[in-house]
Amino acid sequence: MKIAVIGSGYVGLTAAVGFAKLGHQVICIDIDTKRVEMLKAGVSPIFETGLEAELKAGLKTGRLAFATDLAGFLGDVQVVFIAVGTPGNADGSVHINSVQEVAKSVGDSLRTEQVVVIKSTVPVGTCDSLKQMLPHLEFVSNPEFLREGMALQDFLNPQRVIVGTTSEKAINLLKEVYAPILNESKNFLVMDPCSAEMSKYAANAMLAARISLMNEMSQLCEKLGADIQLVRQGVGSDSRIGTEFLNAGVGFGGSCLPKDINAMIDMGSVNDLEVPMIKAIRLANQSQKLRFANKVVKSLEHLGTPQVAVWGLSFKPETDDIREAPSFEIIDHFLHHGFSVRVYDPVAMPGFRENYKNSEKISFATDALAAIEQCDALCILTEWSDFMKIDLQKLKFAMKVPRIFDGRNVFDPRTMKKIGIEYYSIGRPS
């Protein structure tokens, strides 16, 4: 099948590479010329396990191509996937102008038998409003559920493919597109566009709620002498609950959960609806980040102008994505209190550095051990597996003061005690 994917970010590029791997002929379009040149040369602009290898393979087979303009390709394609960004506005509403512009710019030239699929996360009702704008076309909602860091793997092994449309023609086309990865259609869920759009937001609200609930439990654990890791096992072994997304930490970040929570609050507000649970998730997440930052500040401020090391800048491991990462707010809090900060992340440093070009109080280390030299404490904000493998004796002797604030519960408190490292983690006895 001939497919166009518009947008070559985490979602668009993964989809384009994935569709080519499934045997489709894919043209992927992005307005960012530098990005398109990299992609044509087989270089992935984002860090995602296995993506670059499959990108190269797609280019080699000729099933995958990149361009900055769809004009010459429109006549041929049967399905157009729109996967451009939908960032949040300052008031929490969603900026869907790019989706609308792309729909308008391709829509006039498309024929009725061609289908436009919205993969971007958009407010509920967007597909219907696009249909009103361009009534000759079918607009299908097909929200994406991939996890960054596992993007291609998730795309190729979806737990479900949600297709929001009432058009039989569109359902059949999408079934054909996804056929190689459908589990006898059991994971192919068809519903109306609004329910499909809402499913994406509802899923993210559930995930964010689990994290925030566990973060709150971790605070109780600290006060009451319980261990949140053991509580996680106890709770997660209930098959109605499960263990996923139950790790307490410094709060969630990323380009999706915070933005989608804000969007739900905004959708409630414009419809005169209070959404107290969703508002509570946002509040709880905010206070979790600050609680961690304050704990560190309170412990070190008597030193005057301490230097802290930070390991991990991306919002989670295995990705270079720093959008809405907790590291920003926590580091800003340290800088605000006059601390110097020395940071290290295996892949996310270039993007992070761009945000702190003029700050003399923040420096960038070449490796994890180099980051902790001369530091009064180490803070762990992302659970990269590299950190778990570090030689703890070496770590102890490299630090001016062997003191760790572990925001991701990477190490075992008993081991730390044995080695003689002052150790504070989340929701566990020190």
Ligand X SMILES: NC(=O)c1ccc[n+]([C@@H]2O[C@H](COP(=O)([O-])OP(=O)(O)OC[C@H]3O[C@@H](n4cnc5c(N)ncnc54)[C@H](O)[C@@H]3O)[C@@H](O)[C@H]2O)c1
**Please, which residue, 148 or 383, has the CB nearer to ligand X?**
148
**36 or 308, CB closer to ligand X?**
36
* Pick from 15, 17, 80, 5: nearest CA to 43: 17
Q: Is 251 in the site for ligand X (CB under 6 A)?
A: no
Residue 305 contacts residue 339 (beta carbons within 8 Å): yes
Enter the tokens of residue 129.
Answer: 């409003």
Contact between 335 and ligand X (CB under 6 A)? no
Contact code string over 40-79 relative to ligand X, x by CB under 6 A: ----------------------------------------
Which of 385, 348, 386, 381 has its CA nearest to residue 364?
348
Region binding ligand X by CB under 6 A among candidate stretches 142-150, 206-214, 224-232, 298-306: 142-150
CA-CA distance, 29 to 5, in Å (whole number)? 6
Q: Does 426 bind ligand X (CB under 6 A)?
A: no
304, 341 Cβ separation under 8 angstroms: no
Say whether residue 229 binds ligand X (CB under 6 A): no
Question: Distance between CA atoms of 131 and 140, rounded to whole angstroms?
Answer: 9
- Contacts with ligand X: how many residues (CB under 6 A)? 26
Give dist(CA 342, CA 60) in Å, integer: 42
Return the residue of 25, 44, 121, 288 that touches ligand X, per CB under 6 A. 121
146 near ligand X, rule: CB under 6 A: yes
Given 138, 144, 222, 406, the residue binding ligand X (CB under 6 A):
144
Q: Which residue in the set 35, 316, 342, 403 belongs to the binding site for ligand X (CB under 6 A)?
A: 35
- Cα separation, 293 vs 327, whole angstroms: 10
Q: At closest approach, how far in Å is the CB of 102 from ligand X?
A: 5
Residue 100: exposed, middle, or buried by beta-carbon count in 10 A (0-12, 13-18, 19+)? middle
- Which among 23-31, 179-187, 226-234, 305-313 is the span making contact with ligand X, rule CB under 6 A? 23-31
Reference 165, options 141, 133, 199; nearest CA is 141
Return the number of the residue (376 or 383) whose C-beta is nearest ligand X.
383
- Asked if 142 is part of the footprint of ligand X (rule: CB under 6 A), the reply reads no
- Residue 149 interacting with ligand X (CB under 6 A): no
Helices 126-133 + 193-224 axis angle, to 10: 150
User: For binding to ligand X (CB under 6 A), which residues are involved?
Assistant: 6-12, 29-32, 35, 83-86, 98, 101-102, 120-121, 144, 146, 148, 255-256
